[in-house]
Structure formats: C-alpha cells, structure tokens
C-alpha cells in the first residue's frame, strides 16, 4: 500500500509550469520535459490541476469533458506518456477532479438547457418565490448572487462559483454513477491519486435564505456528504490500496474532517483545510490589508495537528497552491531575509504530522508578482474585486495594494527555470507575465547553489523518509503563547524531535524545558547555532530541527 505518511506531493499548475511548444501556455509535454527536475527534488506524487477540455472561465475548474484532454495542454497520448515516464522515476500522478460543478458547456448541462428532464435533474434548478427574485439570497464565492435565471424554464440554476459553473445535483443517484465512471476511467489509465475540488460542498441542505450570512451553512459539510464519499470510495478508488486521495474542504469543521480523513479508510486519505490561511483576513473578508495574526496561525495549526491526531485522521499540510499568494511574500521577508524565511517556512510545514504539499516554485522561494496594472491580471476573482473594491469607495491605488497581496495570480505567474527571457518558461508570449525577479530566483541558479532553497527542500523531503518520528509521531505544541517562536515536539517509539522556528526578522532567545545538548541538529537554515543548556539564541527566521533517539 502507498505509504502516504512518508510521501510528499508536488503540485503542478500546468498552464504556468513549462511550455514545450512556444504558444505561451504550459502543457503536458512541458511537464514530461521537467520530470528529472521533480525527481531530483525527491517527491513521490505530482498533483496536476485540471487539464481536461474546458472553456477556461475558471482556469480549468470548469470542466466541459471529463474524459478528454484540452488540446491546449496536449493529447491523451501525452498523458499516457507522462504517466509512464513518471513511473520510471518512481513518481505517481494525482489528478484533480471537479465534481461539485461542471462547465455550462458540458454536454450534461447543454442537454438540461435543451429541456431534457433526465439531464435537468443533473443540476439544481429552482423556482424563485416571486418574479425576479432568486430562490435564496446565497452569494456566489466569486461575488454576486449564486442563482442564474433561465427564462425558458422560468427557473434559476445554482452556481456556488462562476455563473458558467452550474452545481451538480448529487442527490440524484445517476449523477453519482457518472462521477464514479469518470474515476474508474482514469484508474484504468494507471492514475494513483485523486484530489477532489471543494468536495465538501456536494451535499446541499435546505434551500433557504440565510439571514446570518452568505448561505454557506446550507451547503457546507451537508447532510449526505459522508454517505456520498463512502459510496464513491467503495465503488472506485477504495478498491485499489495504492491510490491516495485528498479532499479540498471549503470552510469545513474539524469534526467532519475526523470522518473525511479517518484512518479507517472509508472516505479519503487526507484533507486540505484552509483556516490557517485566513490569518491575514478580517473575519472571512479576504480583500483587506491587515498584518497576519501569528498567535492565531499557531493556534489553528496546532489545533488541527493535535485533534486530527487524537481522532486518527490525516492532514495534508501546506502553505501554497494555485489559489494562495506566495508564502514567502505572505509570512516571510522577501526584502532582507528571503532565503532564511523561505527555508524556515518550509521547515514548519514539513516537520508537522501530515502529508506535505509543495506548490511549483515554492521550493525556489518564488514570490508574489507585484503587478501594478490591471491589464497584467488574468484571474476572474481578482478582476471582479478590483471593480468591487472601487465601488466600495477605495481608490485605485488601494485596490492595487490589496490585489498585490491577495490575488490568486500571485501563484500563477510562470515557473522560473532560468534567468533568460521569460524565465525559460516559453519561447513565445507567456499567457501571464513572468515575475521580473526570475533574473536571480530560478531553478538553474538554485540547482548550482548548495545553500539554495531548492536544496533545503530536498533535505526536508529526505528527512521525512529517514525519520519515522516525522511520518508517524504525535505532535506536542511548545510555548504556544511565544510572540516570535513556532515550536513543537514530535515523538514516536522513543524517538524525539524538536522543531524550533523564529517567525520574525529579529533575534530572540528561546528557553526549552529540555536539555538541548542531548539532541543532535539534523537540519537548520543557518550554519552555526548558539545553544547552551536548555536555551537557544535564534537568529532572524532561524529554523532548527533537533533529534534524539
């Protein structure tokens, strides 16, 4: 069985990874070209965001055809070759499955619009309470009402995301059967991992107005969610012990995740939760500028670590993905301590209990884009909010400042391979601009530098494979109220590991309850450590991993 506790997953956003044919878009052959690089990093799985046929209203998360490859990314032969070549290097593929909604161009929805009753029941159509009033006041996650009127039926369909992404009706057993068929098809192609997009939204509860908020309490972790996941597991991936699965859980609760990711294996292998990535929001409001709340960050991460452990459930641990800004820009210091802070942040995540996910370029310390003109932005959410923020009375300059911090485009700028034109991503015109700092932040430079962020990530991955305490140990938070230090202990069958990280750009002293001289330092982002007795003097953004058997 695949030991996902010892594994590390590398996420590729194909559109921005590597362009093999000069059309400005990354593609599947581009991924094949870079497999040796990924193998050198040492990861076990590649998770690819969707490259199925799609109108690309939401970067491929609007699937028109689950069985075919979007020609802009390549062909089915390319997928098969990628799978073979990855396997030769001991790497498996994890595909991204979007089953909460489809594209409005999907044949199921087209048949629904044509009035076919079978397919109309594949989606959620409702009458409004009176003319011109949607069935509920729920908000779309991309802004505006979540219902779209269809004159022909005098009804509305639900779209929790873009208007072009109608929600599927999972209460219809035929929908569930179709979804199972899709997974079986890709299992037949040898795919050994699946990531399920916003999967905890598939079971809708009551269709009522939400006078407390935006409607999410009526469709998040809904009444049949565990039943539907168990059914999916039994019918598909649960029949192959080598397959690992991860569910993206939107606004979920920990109690539900005890079931989603329980080691009984009846639902999913692990879950993504995002609460720790809202510590620079104001409440649930993302489009603001506030300093991140370090105490809250620690509390959330430790709560999930400790409680998921107690309930025998497994986390996916991560800072970055295609929807999040770059972590070194977010919680690190790109001006003065770029390298140190990027390594420290990697240490915090990779030594936790859970399967670490690395997002392309994170292992190079890639930073936010710094775009200063709206024409440079491509993301639908960012473009909407640039308008919404100004409608709320913010100046254009303020709106740009917020986008520069929070836009999803920060993570979507092309992978920086070398210091050449377009960072070596494409010989053509890139679909989105390459970050200017590719002149010095790039894979070629880092592979040659022994002290690079890349080589440090390599060591973090190797550490998890070498020390069982990282893969299987319990987590014990240390000195939780400390205003600067993120520290915890791991313990497993007599092995102990201390992870001590200074989250800030100033020197701090940290006192342990343990005699630190008994431990050996197995990893740090500084050459020399100042440890005496139970005290350690930490340099700016210093990370130290201490081990004793």
Can you give the pLDDT at residue 266? 96
Neighbouring residues of 160: CB distance < 8 A, sequence distance ≥ 6: 100, 101, 138, 140, 141, 146, 167, 198, 201, 219
Q: Is 377 left (phi over 0), alpha (psi -120 to 50) or beta?
A: beta
In contact, 350 and 6? CB cutoff 8 Å? no
Phi, psi of 192, rounded to the nearest 5 degrees: -115, 15
Cα torsion at 65, 71, 77, 81 (round to 10°)?
A: -100
In contact, 63 and 98? CB cutoff 8 Å? yes
> Does residue 457 carry a pLDDT above 70?
yes
What is the value of pTM for the model shown?
Answer: 0.96
Instruction: Say which residue the tokens 């990354």 belong to.
Output: 26
Mean of the per-residue pLDDT values of the chain: 97
Total residue length of the chain: 549
Q: What are the structure tokens assigned to 260, written together?
A: 């989603």
**pLDDT tens string 40-52:** 999 999 999 999 9
> Is 465 exposed, middle or buried (CB count within 10 Å of its CB: 0-12, 13-18, 19+)?
middle
Of 549, 546, 548, 475, the closest CA to residue 510 belongs to 546
What sign does the dihedral 217-218-221-223 (CA atoms) show?
A: positive
Please name the residue ranges forming H helices in 353-435: 380-391, 396-406
CB neighbourhood size of 212 (10 A): 8
Using alpha carbons, list the distances in angstroms from residue 171 to 80, 205, 413. 34, 10, 38
Q: What are the structure tokens assigned to 478, written together?
A: 């240390």
Q: What are the structure tokens assigned to 489, written together?
A: 């202990």
Please spell the DSSP secondary structure of 109-148, one letter per residue. HHHHHTT-HHHHTTB-EE--SSTT--SS-PBPTTSSBSEE
Active site amino acids: 197, 248
Q: What are the structure tokens assigned to 393, written together?
A: 């009375």
In contact, 519 and 498? CB cutoff 8 Å? yes
For helices 380-391 and 396-406, what crossing angle results, to 10°? 150
Can you give the pLDDT at residue 547? 98
**pLDDT tens string 198-212:** 999 999 999 999 999
282 three-state secondary structure: strand
Phi, psi of 520, rounded to the nearest 5 degrees: -110, 140
CB neighbourhood size of 520 (10 A): 10
> Does residue 2 carry a pLDDT above 70?
no
**pLDDT tens string 357-412:** 999 999 999 999 999 999 999 998 899 899 999 999 999 999 999 999 999 999 99
73 three-state secondary structure: coil
Q: What is the mean pLDDT of residues 4-14?
A: 97
In whole angstroms, what is the distance from residue 126 CA to residue 139 CA? 16
| pLDDT band at 143; cut points 50, 70, 90 | confident
> Does residue 461 carry a pLDDT above 90?
yes
Beta bridge mates, 320:
none
CB neighbourhood size of 285 (10 A): 9
> What percent of the chain has pLDDT above 70?
100
């Amino acid at each position: 069985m695949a030991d996902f506790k010892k594994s590390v997953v590398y996420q590729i956003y194909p559109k921005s990874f590597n362009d093999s044919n000069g059309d400005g878009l990354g593609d599947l052959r581009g991924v094949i070209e870079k497999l040796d690089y990924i193998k050198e990093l040492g990861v076990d799985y590649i998770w690819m965001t969707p490259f199925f046929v799609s109108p690309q209203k939401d970067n491929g998360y609007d699937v028109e055809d689950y069985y075919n490859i979007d020609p802009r990314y390549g062909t089915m032969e390319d997928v098969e070759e990628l799978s073979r070549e990855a396997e030769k290097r001991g790497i498996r593929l994890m595909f991204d499955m979007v089953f909460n909604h489809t594209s409005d161009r999907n044949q199921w929805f087209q048949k629904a619009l044509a009035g076919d009753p079978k397919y109309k029941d594949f989606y959620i159509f409702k009458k409004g309470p009176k003319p011109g009033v949607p069935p509920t006041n729920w908000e779309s996650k991309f802004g505006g009402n979540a219902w779209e009127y269809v004159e022909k039926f005098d009804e509305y369909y639900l779209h929790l995301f873009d208007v072009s992404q109608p929600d599927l009706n999972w209460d219809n057993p035929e929908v569930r059967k179709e979804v199972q068929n899709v997974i079986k098809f890709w299992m037949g192609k040898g795919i050994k991992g699946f990531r399920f997009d916003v999967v905890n939204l598939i079971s809708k509860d009551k269709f009522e107005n939400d006078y407390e908020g935006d409607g999410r309490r009526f469709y998040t972790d809904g009444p049949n969610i565990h039943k539907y996941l168990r059914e999916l597991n039994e019918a598909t991936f649960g029949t192959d012990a080598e397959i690992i699965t991860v569910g993206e859980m939107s606004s979920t609760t920990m109690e539900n995740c005890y079931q989603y990711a329980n080691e009984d294996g009846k639902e999913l292998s692990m879950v993504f939760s995002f609460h720790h990535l809202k510590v620079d929001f104001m409440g649930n409001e993302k489009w603001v500028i506030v300093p991140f709340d370090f105490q809250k960050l620690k509390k959330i991460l430790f709560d999930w670590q400790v409680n998921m452990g107690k309930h025998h459930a497994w986390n996916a641990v991560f800072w970055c993905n295609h929807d999040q800004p770059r972590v070194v820009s977010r919680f690190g210091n790109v001006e003065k301590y770029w390298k140190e802070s990027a390594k420290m942040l990697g240490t915090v995540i990779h030594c936790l209990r859970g399967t670490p996910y690395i997002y392309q370029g994170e292992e190079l310390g890639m930073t936010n884009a710094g775009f200063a003109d709206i024409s440079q932005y491509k993301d639908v959410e960012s473009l909407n909010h640039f308008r919404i923020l100004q409608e709320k009375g913010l100046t254009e300059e303020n709106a740009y400042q917020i986008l520069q911090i929070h836009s999803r485009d920060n993570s979507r700028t092309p992978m920086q391979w070398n210091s050449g034109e377009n960072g070596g991503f494409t010989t053509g015109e890139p679909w989105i601009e390459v970050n200017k700092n590719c002149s010095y932040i790039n894979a070629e430079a880092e592979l040659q530098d022994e002290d690079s962020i890349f080589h440090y990530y390599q060591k973090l991955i190797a550490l998890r494979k070498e020390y069982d305490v990282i893969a299987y140990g319990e987590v014990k938070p240390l000195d939780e109220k400390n205003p600067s230090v993120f520290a915890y202990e791991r313990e497993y069958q007599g092995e102990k590991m201390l992870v001590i990280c200074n989250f800030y750009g100033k020197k701090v002293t940290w006192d342990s309850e343990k005699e630190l001289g008994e431990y050996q330092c197995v990893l740090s982002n500084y050459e020399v450590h100042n440890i005496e007795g139970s005290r350690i003097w930490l340099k700016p953004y210093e990370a130290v991993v201490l081990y004793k058997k």
